[in-house]
Amino acid sequence: MPAIRRLPETLVNRIAAGEVVERPASALKELVENAIDSGAGRIAVSIAEGGLARIEVTDDGCGMTPAEMSLALERHATSKLPDDAIEQVSTLGFRGEALPSIASVARLTLESRVRGAEQGWKRVVDHGTLAEEGPAALPPGTRVRVEQLFAKIPARRKFLRTARSEYAACLDVVRRLAMARPDIGFTLDHGDRRILGLQPGDALESRVAQIVARDLAQNGVSIALERGAMRLTGIAGLPTYNRGVADHQYLFVNGRPVKDRLLAGAVRGAYADMLARDRHAVLALFLALPAEDVDVNVHPAKTEVRFRDAASVRGFIVSGLRQALATGDRRSAQAPDAGAMARWQTEPVQAEPAPALRSIFQGRDWTAAPSPTLRDGGLRWTGQDSHQTLAAPQGRAEMAADLPAEVAEYPLGIARGQVAKTYIVAEAADGLVIVDQHAAHERLVLERLRAAGAGEKVAGSQALLMPEVVEMDEPACDLLEESSARFAEYGLAIERFGPGAMLVRAMPAALKGADPESLLADLADDLARHGESLLLGERIEHVLATMACHGSVRAGRALSVTEMNALLREMEQTPRSGQCNHGRPTWVKLSMDDVEKLFGRH
């Protein structure tokens, strides 16, 4: 049998580095977090070749003495845990592994100076070996430079991606950390280019908008909610302001950027009936809760967390997001499509008619004065019939009337007509409003079903003629039995039938024809993953949305002006009316300034 031996310190550090330092962005994350924990007011980051050649982080924090620098390069040495209460950690770093792990797989230069000291100190560690030590000239604070990452570990080096991919990962790290601390100024240089320049003291919404997208501020709602000791802040994009991938969802727990499946699932649940399945919300959420209610010591990278009461956290985020969106979601991402506006504005000015009209006026002398016979109502036009060349008009306008005095109270204005039996055209006090009648009414019907209590009716119970026995493993049966009372609220009646089986007596009426075995398997998996199953409720919501779609005004139906105005008034009073059940906008507004620009008045 091989002898048991203690691994050398350099090998231990390399093993730890395999968890902490996966790529340049991992090392950069640890260094910036250390700078934040030092109390810095400004942090400057400089990288070369995506971090493959060089990473440098400079801060104006508290700095370190030479003795502290020496200790900081040893494993499990940290200033961030004054006692043994690891569950009370409030800093980003706390494990004491980052610097020695990085120094074991790269050439690390650590320079620091405490305030009041005459000079700073420098230590250079080359792949785990002290290479240089001595005085250094720098202002108070700390500067860390990482070079030759994995140069002596070719097996790790070859798994790194291209410089462009590594740069994107580094940029994402700095963005997330800068978003979490708007009180700190950040700069990021890549080679000779300044990528980010953020001033300290920004408001949270302003910092998020600068980093994510500047138009998020106009197409999002602010969030500031509390429930007990939990607090949720941030900004959430309107459902109509979405992306095809989820890389614009920034989630933070107690100021720490995380990538947590529970939180991502809560975001999907909150936007469930407002986004198409292949679209993703744009948001930045900051969750604050007592340190003892969240475990950040799950993985050395510290991007995963575990909650003491996961179901409560998920429920708080889902309800909080829905509540925030209900206050501002009568809006939609209203800016007209730039391409469509360009086509409006580039209508050519011609000295002769457009090709579609040319056949009507063939043979006419365009240099001659207009023929008086064309204005003579007593003469019959003998030219070619226009309906043979031009498409039939699709619009249907009503007699124009003066705007009522209360028009200012109607954000969506007064209906003026209908186009293509699909779009309602309305005049508001500040512009022109176009409404998709089917998309708008689809949302109104869904909200009406909920408000009128149709949800309980749809979620009614349908007793099975013969109760069905579903065999499952014992832990899954335990989870389902604990939640059976909640499932009964949705019409699913189940009870324990021995150690490894559940008896299904009734199914939700809205899930008529569903397979009980598949349903219970999905619910058990959901319970095991999140601690509380929202799957059944989400399925009921999906059925309600389907009913709303089929029960709404269809495109192609002619509406009277009274019906149009009634639809507009109900939209103004209905939550989430700015988007349909699939995340598309229900209306857009063209301001009077834009209308006048189309005609060259501005």
* Each residue's pLDDT tens digit, 347-359: 444 444 455 444 5
The residues, ordered by sequence, that sit 6+ positions from 75 with a Cβ below 8 Å of its Cβ are: 9, 12, 13, 16, 96, 97, 100, 101
Residue 365: per-residue pLDDT: 52
Residue 524: per-residue pLDDT: 83
Question: Strand order in 42-48's β-sheet?
Answer: 129-136, 120-126, 107-113, 141-147, 54-59, 42-48, 185-190, 193-198
d(CA 24, CA 392): 63
Give the position of tokens 């994402």: 172
Higher pLDDT, 136 or 410: 136
Q: What is the mean pLDDT of residues 51-60?
A: 95
Residue 381, pLDDT above cutoff 50: no
- With bands split at pLDDT 50, 70 and 90, how would you rate the model's confidence at 445? confident
Percent of the chain residues topping a pLDDT of 90: 28
Higher pLDDT, 221 or 391: 221
Residue 130: per-residue pLDDT: 92
Residue 351: per-residue pLDDT: 46
Closest CA relative to residue 215, chosen from 234, 196, 237, 233? 237
The residues, ordered by sequence, that sit 6+ positions from 453 with a Cβ below 8 Å of its Cβ are: none
Please report the DSSP string for 37-51 in residue order: HTT-SEEEEEEEGGG
Residue 232: per-residue pLDDT: 94
Higher pLDDT, 386 or 565: 565
Residue 275: per-residue pLDDT: 80
Residue 417, pLDDT above cutoff 70: yes
Residue 190: per-residue pLDDT: 93
d(CA 167, CA 497): 56
Task: For domain 333-338+396-602, give the CATH superfamily.
Answer: MutL, C-terminal domain, dimerisation subdomain (3.30.1540.20)
Digit-coded pLDDT (tens) for 457-498: 555 678 998 999 999 888 889 888 988 887 887 788 999 999
Higher pLDDT, 525 or 435: 435
- With bands split at pLDDT 50, 70 and 90, how would you rate the model's confidence at 7? confident
Q: What is the mean pLDDT of residues 491-515?
A: 85
Digit-coded pLDDT (tens) for 56-96: 999 999 999 999 999 888 877 666 555 555 556 667 766 66
Higher pLDDT, 185 or 329: 185
Every domain of the chain and the residues it spans: 9-80+94-198, 204-328, 333-338+396-602
Residue 412, pLDDT above cutoff 80: yes
| Ordered alpha helix ranges (H), 300-436 | 310-328, 338-345, 355-358
Residue 203, pLDDT above cutoff 50: yes
Residue 376, pLDDT above cutoff 70: no
pTM: 0.66
**Beta pairing class for 230-237 and 283-288:** antiparallel
The top-level CATH class assigned to 204-328 is: alpha beta
Residue 429, pLDDT above cutoff 50: yes
Helix H, strand E, coil C: the string for 482-496 is HCHHHHHHCCCEEEE
- Pick one of 3.30.565.10, 3.40.50.1000, 3.40.50.80, 3.40.50.720 as the CATH number of 9-80+94-198: 3.30.565.10
Residue 510: per-residue pLDDT: 63
Higher pLDDT, 351 or 203: 203
Evaluate whether 182 touches 201 at the Cβ level (below 8 Å). Answer: yes
Query: Are domains 9-80+94-198 and 204-328 of this chain identical in fold?
Result: no
Higher pLDDT, 444 or 535: 444
- With bands split at pLDDT 50, 70 and 90, how would you rate the model's confidence at 379? very low
Higher pLDDT, 563 or 445: 563
Burial class (CB in 10 A: 0-12, 13-18, 19+), 540: buried
Burial class (CB in 10 A: 0-12, 13-18, 19+), 450: middle
Residue 390: per-residue pLDDT: 47
